[in-house]
Amino acid sequence: MRPACLLSVLALSLPPSGAAQGAQVEEWVRARAREQEAPLRAEAREQPKSEQLWRERPANDPGPPDFVPPTTLAPLIRAVRPGVVNIGTSNARGSSGGPSRSAGSGFIISPDGHVVTNNHVVDRARQIRVKLADGREFLAEVVGRDPSTDLALLKLQGEVGQLPCTYLGDSDNLEVGDWVVAIGNPFGLDHSVSHGMISAKERVIGVGIFDDFIQTDALINPGNSGGPLFNMRGEVVGVNTAIISQGQGIGFAVPINMVKELLPNLLVNGRLARGWLGVNIQQQGGAGAQKGAVVMDVFKGSPAASAGIRPGDRVTAVNGRAIESYLQLLRRIAILAPGTEVKLTVHRESKGREVAVKLTERPSPQSLQALAAAGRLDELGVVVRDLTPEIAQNLGSGPTSGVLVAGVLPQGPAEQAGLQAGDLITEVNKRRVQDVKGLRAALEASGQSQTALVRFQRGDAVRYVVIRLAG
């Protein structure tokens, strides 16, 4: 019952009296009304949680922690725009080369004029022109490029002075929901700006082993290719690369940490000369499995073998950066130049340790197949097969027995001695060999000898070579 109604009822039930007595009665009635209303108000405030369908933030609640809504991106864009460039090319078709066209975007990474862009922007270009935000134009040459990551490093020609350049950030620190800005030249429109957020990380879109893209909803259109993706500190965190034509608001960028690892390789080698550990690896599987990549096999004479890595070891980090899958390990190693020394965090029997490994160049696909072949002889550094009539016929008339060298292991004893795939081994240490079994027996008969005198046939020529056997 409302207080006013309760007051009227009580007042009507009392006999008339003087003014003073009436005031006392009215105050008494109001006090009783407040007593009756208090439990009703408390019950309304203390609604059981099971009956609450939603919650509302109190007026004095500051909101999500560490969140400051942006009001304008203009100061950020003014600061970073001078480091973004427009790239125009004329293609290589015909002797005249054809007209120049706006091909894409890029960004300056050093004051002396090194520029990062996409490989497809400059691929097959006869001439490359780079236009700066201040209107200046320079010719550029390709320093190095790699189709597998779609990255290219350019160098501006002529007197460039001290150019405005971008800062490179740390793409590993990105989180889904972080604000980002893309600047480029979509459809030839100079220095267009779009903004959005990080939609996902480590996206695999099926373009190769280096699939590790940042997904963003910042608008990326043709002409944005090769341009920078900035974080809110004005640092480049990605290279805008790919769009999905069937969708809207879905763009992809190469993480800048991958770019930073690749740039020294491109600068020195002009291409992606892939580093190699010399291991077969497997992903940890199953619920609750530990993160990392498990070593299944270590090739003899490989960098991993020299560093003491063994089958069963679990690699969890490269140069202090965590490894959560075998694909991450493959990418991190393959993108480094041969000769690079890396520190691996390796766990063996629940104990972790740091291992320094000096990478060599990744062997050719044929050599890798040889490494995994059944007829592999590590002590000689070859893969061998029995000489069948069909093989003998292909080699030409003459050979009727011997062992065919099907492959030579990279940097193995046979390769160093000059043996080649296609050679036919006929003797080892003056002992005639007719098949793989006989070759193995001849090597075993050599006992503790560290060398083997090998007679082999190459075409019509017969040669001898001394091979220092691998331990």
- For this structure, is 245 an active site residue? no
Q: What is the 3-state secondary structure (H, E, C) of 111-140?
A: CCCEEEECHHHHCCEEEEEEECCCCCEEEE
User: Among residues 337, 189, 178, which one has the least CA distance to residue 253?
Assistant: 178
Question: Active site residue: 105, 194, 225, 302, which one?
Answer: 225
Tally Cβ neighbours within 10 Å of residue 141. Answer: 11
- For this structure, is 150 an active site residue? yes
Question: Active site residue: 120, 194, 199, 212, which one?
Answer: 120
Collect all residues with Cβ–Cβ distance below 8 Å to 450 and sequence separation of at least 6. 468, 469
Question: Active site residue: 105, 146, 150, 171, which one?
Answer: 150
Beta strands 167-168 and 235-243, pairing class: parallel
- For this structure, is 120 an active site residue? yes
Active-site residues, by number, are 120, 150, 225
